[in-house]
Amino acid sequence: MGQVLGFEALKQQVSDGTVDTVLVCAVDMQGRLMGKRFHAGHFIAGAWEETHCCNYLFATDLEMATPDGYASTSWEKGYGDYVMKPDPDTLRPVPWLEGTVLVLCDILDHHTHAEIPHTPRAMLKKQVGRLAALGYDAMMATELEFFLFARSFDEISAGGFRDLTPISAYNEDYHIFQTTKEEHVMRPIRNHLWNAGIPVENTKGEAEAGQEELNIKYAAAMDTADYHSIAKHAVKEIAHQHGHAASFMAKWSHERVGSSSHVHQSLWQGGKPSFYDAGDDLGMSGLMKSYVAGLLKYAPDYTYFLAPYINSYKRFMKGTFAPTRTVWSIDNRTAAFRLCGDGTRAVRIECRIGGSDINPYLAMAAMLAAGIAGIEEGLELAPPMRGDAYAGEGGSIPGSLIAARDALKGSDMLRQAMGDEVIDHYARAAEVEIEDFERVVTDYEVARNFEKA
């Protein structure tokens, strides 16, 4: 990432009183910003070199519980510290908070200072490094879809999550009038992110009442993941400042469509798009064909990283623009993989499997691993699917978290690419979600069985 705010400039802003707070953040397994608020004076006096966090932060769930079964940490091991090492290239203003800047950290072992392999930034760095060894850079873009609600998180929570009224009453796909009514939230989101050095392209209404999409210009994979995490955090905070909730849950109602995070992918070499071949009918190079064949072959292996919760799998429904089949197509939104920009230098593959609940570092790391495997194995790409993929043939996306966990655990490709420790760690994270859900009696069961069973 091109530096947005240099350390010398920060020192100046601290001394003239423009900045007094530094958010020192890690990105956790769920893709959230976790960390500490430093007094800026203390940060520039020394905390910029490193600080610490409890290692349970990378072995927990959405509720911040301490589940057992992780090799990296436990009650028995005493839940010690990791080093949080600020990455100066990520230092940037947080224009929606007064006097505040933010920096993202890499997470290191307390004693050896080696990167912790199952932390999201380390996982993506590793796959970007493997690709660099082959001579390529990954250029990626992640789309962020989410719902805005009339009330705030706190009001909705106090009401037992029952009053889920979206901010608008009808489908607002590309709808300028309806989205004008939401500009008190969406305009600050675009402008604050832009002023934080995040290259926002646009926002638009999406295909449901209250559904929004935020697009950020494609960039190197690591920058894209950083942008995504900061942008998602900003959307929640800015919506909160205006009395609204913003939800990135993949499917908040079975009667509505879900929210996605499509991932656009292309490989480049020396600033030139290596996916482009002017001599091919669709403009696809041999490299691109093998990469896409890898994405297709290994889609079940890495689906967990695109759909990490029980709820994520409720999104994969016929006729909702969320895919069900692992096939590729030319500009066809019914397939899991959609070829975009065919015949042009912008030729790229869009993976449509991921929900808005992805952790972008993990999603991109896993897809890069699959694409690299496709290149290394010299895989041939089958012809594209045509027509309605929901009605057609082809491989299926795992239908549940249990199936995705099994595919993850059994993936030799991911074990080789990421290491056993990492795969066992995330297979355990999937199990924790499954165990918790199996224990809880849901509203659905009570309403269905209470009288009638």
Q: Which of 18, 21, 215, 320 binds ligand ADP (CB under 6 A)?
A: 215
User: Rounded to an integer, what distance in angstroms lies between the CA atom of residue 59 and that of residue 25?
Assistant: 17
Q: Which of 37, 39, 42, 217 binds ligand ADP (CB under 6 A)?
A: 217
Query: Is residue 201 near ligand ADP by the rule CB under 6 A?
Result: yes
Closer to ligand ADP by Cβ: residue 139 or 363: 139
Query: Is residue 228 near ligand ADP by the rule CB under 6 A?
Result: no
Min dist. Cβ of residue 20 to ligand ADP (A) = 34
Closer to ligand ADP by Cβ: residue 258 or 398: 258
Q: Which of 96, 218, 309, 328 binds ligand ADP (CB under 6 A)?
A: 218
Closer to ligand ADP by Cβ: residue 149 or 276: 276
Residue 189: beta bridge partners?
Answer: none
User: Rounded to an integer, what distance in angstroms lies between the CA atom of residue 83 and that of residue 102?
Assistant: 17
DSSP state letter for 43: I
User: Rounded to an integer, what distance in angstroms lies between the CA atom of residue 284 and that of residue 343?
Assistant: 7
Find out whether 365 and 413 touch, Cβ atoms under 8 Å: no
Q: Which residue has the tokens 């949080």?
A: 84
User: Rounded to an integer, what distance in angstroms lies between the CA atom of residue 369 and that of residue 128?
Assistant: 9
Alpha helices in 282-411 (DSSP H): 286-297, 299-306, 360-376, 401-409
Closer to ligand ADP by Cβ: residue 9 or 220: 220
Query: Is residue 136 near ligand ADP by the rule CB under 6 A?
Result: no
Min dist. Cβ of residue 332 to ligand ADP (A) = 12
Query: Is residue 139 near ligand ADP by the rule CB under 6 A?
Result: yes
Min dist. Cβ of residue 81 to ligand ADP (A) = 37
Interactions with ligand ADP, residue window 279-338 (CB under 6 A): none
* Cα–Cα nearest to 71, from 436, 370, 437, 423: 423
Encoded tokens for 418: 């990421």
Stretch of residues binding ligand ADP (CB under 6 A), selected from 36-44, 71-79, 346-354, 359-367:
346-354
Interacting residues of 302 by C-beta distance below 8 A, sequence separation 6+: 366, 367, 369, 370, 408, 411, 414
Closer to ligand ADP by Cβ: residue 9 or 346: 346
Interacting residues of 3 by C-beta distance below 8 A, sequence separation 6+: 88, 89, 91
Min dist. Cβ of residue 349 to ligand ADP (A) = 9
Closer to ligand ADP by Cβ: residue 5 or 234: 234
Find out whether 313 and 357 touch, Cβ atoms under 8 Å: no
Q: Which residue has the tokens 């490193």?
A: 50
Min dist. Cβ of residue 318 to ligand ADP (A) = 20
Encoded tokens for 319: 């006729």
Strands 337-340 and 348-351: antiparallel
Number of alpha carbons in the 13 Å side-chain half-sphere of residue 190: 15
Q: Which of 232, 348, 405, 425 binds ligand ADP (CB under 6 A)?
A: 348
Closer to ligand ADP by Cβ: residue 139 or 353: 139
3-class SS at 311? helix
Binding-residue total with ligand ADP (CB under 6 A)? 15
Closer to ligand ADP by Cβ: residue 55 or 265: 265
Closer to ligand ADP by Cβ: residue 119 or 266: 266
Min dist. Cβ of residue 417 to ligand ADP (A) = 21
User: Rounded to an integer, what distance in angstroms lies between the CA atom of residue 443 and that of residue 203?
Assistant: 35
Closer to ligand ADP by Cβ: residue 149 or 218: 218
Find out whether 126 and 365 touch, Cβ atoms under 8 Å: yes
Site string for ligand ADP, 233-272 (x = CB under 6 A): -------------------------------xxx------
**Sequential DSSP letters for 46-63:** IITT-EEEEGGGGS--TT
Stretch of residues binding ligand ADP (CB under 6 A), selected from 180-188, 234-242, 342-350, 393-401:
342-350
Stretch of residues binding ligand ADP (CB under 6 A), selected from 42-50, 76-84, 168-176, 343-351:
343-351
Min dist. Cβ of residue 273 to ligand ADP (A) = 6
User: Rounded to an integer, what distance in angstroms lies between the CA atom of residue 323 and that of residue 389?
Assistant: 8
Geometric angle at alpha carbon 69, from 61 and 420, rounded to 5°: 95
Closer to ligand ADP by Cβ: residue 101 or 349: 349
Query: Is residue 181 near ligand ADP by the rule CB under 6 A?
Result: no
Binding site for ligand ADP (CB under 6 A): 139-141, 201, 215-218, 264-266, 340, 346, 348, 350
